[in-house]
Amino acid sequence: MINSIKSFFESKLAKTKEAEQEAELVQKVDLACAALLIEVMNSDHELDERESAEFIAVLKNTLNVDEEDINEIIKLAEDEARKATSLYEFTRLINDGFDYPQKLTLIENMWRIAFSDEKLDRYEDHLIRKVSELIYVSHSDFIKAKLQVRS
């Protein structure tokens, strides 16, 4: 009987620990997405208010960030983007935590930011193309996302 009670509590603790690890991975992936979106905003070396507004809209709608957490997420993502030595740090997390449709949504959101100021800079295009390759989004889906957002 003691063994069954012990195993019951161990299984509950294991599930709790698993849930905590899953929640932590989701937070890291969301932060990686936010950092990549900031990279798109910064890639053309001109920060436009429309890009900032679109970035906040993406955080709220896609990543489900609460209004009171927006500023904290922005600061954390900016810090992560500034400290990053390569895109791999972010794309590895995305590959670990996202399925293919979620990856497509990320690429679409990157295009939304890039097109929000009504001009596409070559550096924005290059960055989104590179991220798309690193997260294994097919070229045809990359183009479809671009055309869909641009329309």
Residue ranges per structural domain of the chain:
28-150
Q: pLDDT tens digits, residue range 20-70?
A: 666 676 778 888 888 899 888 888 777 778 888 888 888 888 876 777 777
Q: What are phi and psi of 103, to 5 degrees?
A: -65, -40
- Distance separating alpha carbons of residues 72 and 79, to the nearest angstrom: 11
Q: Which tokens sit at 146?
A: 């671009």
Contact indicator for 74, 34 with CB cutoff of 8 Å: yes
Q: How many CB atoms lie within 10 A of CB 140?
A: 8
Q: pLDDT tens digits, residue range 74-114?
A: 777 777 777 777 788 889 999 998 999 999 999 999 999 99
Print burial letters for 117-134: b (CB count within 10 Å at least 16), e (below 16): beeeeeebbebbbebbeb
- What kind of architecture, by CATH, is found in domain 28-150? Orthogonal Bundle (1.10)
Query: For every residue of 62-129, which 3-state class applies, written as one string?
Result: CCCCCHHHHHHHHHHHHHHHHHCCCCHHHHHHHHHHCCHHHHHHHHHHHHHHHHCCCCCCHHHHHHHH
Name the pTM for this structure. Answer: 0.78
Contact indicator for 3, 13 with CB cutoff of 8 Å: no
pLDDT, mean of residues 133-151? 94
pLDDT band at 143 (very low <50, low <70, confident <90, very high): very high
